[in-house]
Chain A
């Protein structure tokens, strides 16, 4: 059989066409837009201004500053809840004698539900007055409890975290469970024979062996934490005030409500830079272990 260049090209062609037209070209074009001034409604074409636009966004745009801070106020609790929640759950499910696969299906279920509809569901759950969450709190003894979770600037962002973590948990659960299954039973048995308690066993045996998986799930949660659009768009539209304005949503708002494609691209690129910097930071943190294993 001849393995010719031509056949190789034919096999690669569909991939290359889609990647070039819908990924590579957009990346380059939005970089160009980021270096330009371009109001899609009024300007006939982008006007090149160099890095001035980036400078203005980073140093002078107070909405950008708010979005930047909000993004981290969202990302930190989101990271903690998703990471710890799925880690603990994975350890528990791994210990189960019965029903492990049943519970896995249950916890994976939110992965298939559209995030926008998760948003509608949580908005309904956390409704003031007739919302079931407030009702349960009232029943538990908090009198006259009636918080408008998504309508109050103090609680709106954290209520978004709740919905986002609910949806994400299954993904990291998959990662942790496959990590746990990879740990030889014999090491854990040996620890037990030596008299280690359950928590000692987890801390000294399981977690160190899980390190590459802790890294991988950190990266995935982080990438996700920076892509916060659906829930904001469906539930709060950045409000009340600007309390849930995230980078992603701000970029979208600039592009498709104000039609300011230049600044929107700048915000998008800065978001990308944050993701990349954090990924690099995490890989430093876990460097030696992952390099030898993965």
Chain B
């Protein structure tokens, strides 16, 4: 008995069990959506509900992927908008991060803090004028109409990460490049960018995750169904199809998460580092 207790204490099994139970409860919403998505419709709406699925089927997934043109369109919109946003944010923040992290100029800190404060204000302050602007320029219900504001909203975070990375590059590396006859652009491109690769990865994954899930701008600026992204389109589907479709809704939700989940697993170190960097500094 004593032996077991000391083992229990040494390995802190009590804490392990507590955390495990919390984790199971915490994961249950997602798990339940998944279970719903692999059940036949008649089981989903059985009353009283059963927790353990009796019959497992992939019909909902097959239906979503083959019969729902809308879903494919949302997926396409999400991929195009997110990818374009990521590319522009990475390029712009790699350039701006260099300016803020390496160069010295007047008003530097003020400008940087002003750009960062973007993150704290309610986005609807930007959305109202952007809506009016895009309405006049016929940018609503186009890919660019979403990409451009997304870049602006994600740029501050990217700048924060890239500035941090550039400012830690040792001076002698830059000096060596200068002696080798590089001009400033060559130095930035060929010497510094390879060094700050982890920061580029962090910016990429964070921008991807945020752009993939954005709802406020997407739902307001993309009023036509064919231009909507996944977070908006799936909700639209739910409202449109109303009853008895939670199996398909569940399948759509799981499918919407898969691309970003794969990226998250692959790059989670950068994702967490980047968020930590951004949130704590």
B110 within 8 A of A: no
- Please, which residue of chain B has its CB at the minimum distance from the CB of A113? B257
> Are B95 and A264 interface neighbours, CB within 8 A?
no
Q: Which residues in chain B, 229-281, are within 8 Å of chain A measured between CB atoms?
A: 230-232, 234-235, 238, 246, 249-250, 253, 256-257, 260-261, 264-265, 268, 272, 275-276, 279-281
Q: Which residues in chain A, 277-292, are within 8 Å of chain B measured between CB atoms?
A: 279
A residues in contact with B132, CB < 8 Å: 29, 40, 261
Question: In the complex, A95 Cα to B9 Cα: how many Å?
Answer: 12
B68 within 8 A of A: no
> Are A27 and B125 interface neighbours, CB within 8 A?
yes
Name the contact of A174 in the complex, choosing from B18, B19, B216, B272 (C-beta under 8 A). Answer: B272
Name the contact of A178 in the complex, choosing from B103, B153, B250, B276 (C-beta under 8 A). Answer: B276
Least Cβ–Cβ distance between A216 and chain B, in angstroms: 6
> Are B92 and A130 interface neighbours, CB within 8 A?
no
A14 within 8 A of B: yes
Name the contact of B184 in the complex, choosing from A3, A109, A131, A268 (C-beta under 8 A). Answer: A3
A193 within 8 A of B: no
> Are B231 and A261 interface neighbours, CB within 8 A?
no
B residues in contact with A25, CB < 8 Å: 129
A residues in contact with B129, CB < 8 Å: 25-26, 29-30, 33
Least Cβ–Cβ distance between B25 and chain A, in angstroms: 10
B91 within 8 A of A: yes
B residues in contact with A103, CB < 8 Å: 19, 23
- How many A residues touch the partner, as a band? 35 or more
> Are A15 and B92 interface neighbours, CB within 8 A?
yes
B143 within 8 A of A: no
> Are B124 and A120 interface neighbours, CB within 8 A?
no
- Please, which residue of chain A has its CB at the minimum distance from the CB of B214? A114
- How many B residues touch the partner, as a band? 35 or more
Name the contact of B183 in the complex, choosing from A1, A29, A99 (C-beta under 8 A). Answer: A1
> Are A256 and B215 interface neighbours, CB within 8 A?
no
Q: Which residues in chain B, 176-231, are within 8 Å of chain A measured between CB atoms?
A: 178, 182-185, 187-188, 209, 212-216, 219-220, 230-231
B residues in contact with A131, CB < 8 Å: 49
Name the contact of A11 in the complex, choosing from B19, B32, B98, B128 (C-beta under 8 A). Answer: B98
Q: Which residues in chain B, 66-118, are within 8 Å of chain A measured between CB atoms?
A: 88, 91-93, 95-96, 98-99, 103, 105, 115, 118
B60 within 8 A of A: no
- Please, which residue of chain A has its CB at the minimum distance from the CB of B179? A1
> Are A178 and B280 interface neighbours, CB within 8 A?
yes
Question: In the complex, A122 Cα to B33 Cα: how many Å?
Answer: 9
> Are A15 and B115 interface neighbours, CB within 8 A?
yes
A residues in contact with B63, CB < 8 Å: none
Least Cβ–Cβ distance between A167 and chain B, in angstroms: 10
> Are B122 and A268 interface neighbours, CB within 8 A?
yes
A residues in contact with B256, CB < 8 Å: 114, 117
Contact mask for chain B residues 40-80; partner A; CB cutoff 8 A; 1 contact, 0 none: 00001111110100000000000000000000000000000
B30 within 8 A of A: yes
A135 within 8 A of B: yes
Name the contact of A265 in the complex, choosing from B103, B118, B128 (C-beta under 8 A). Answer: B128
> Are B126 and A26 interface neighbours, CB within 8 A?
yes
Given contacts A1-B187, A25-B129, A121-B30, contact A256 B149 (CB under 8 A): no
Name the contact of A255 in the complex, choosing from B131, B178, B238, B260 (C-beta under 8 A). Answer: B131
Most buried by A among B36, B44, B88, B215: B215
Least Cβ–Cβ distance between A176 and chain B, in angstroms: 11
Question: In the complex, A10 Cα to B272 Cα: how many Å?
Answer: 31
Least Cβ–Cβ distance between A30 and chain B, in angstroms: 5
Contact mask for chain A residues 76-111; partner B; CB cutoff 8 A; 1 contact, 0 none: 000000000000010011011111000111111111
Complex A-B: 16 CB contacts under 8 Å: A1-B184, A19-B115, A22-B130, A26-B128, A40-B132, A97-B11, A118-B29, A130-B44, A130-B46, A171-B279, A216-B279, A229-B216, A264-B124, A269-B125, A271-B124, A275-B121
The interface of chain A, by Cβ under 8 A from chain B, is 1-4, 7-8, 10-15, 18-19, 21-23, 25-27, 29-30, 33, 40, 89, 92-93, 95-99, 103-122, 124-125, 129-132, 135, 138, 166, 169, 171, 174-175, 178, 213, 216, 220, 223, 226-227, 229-230, 233-234, 248, 251-252, 255-256, 261, 264-265, 268-269, 271-272, 275-276, 279, 294
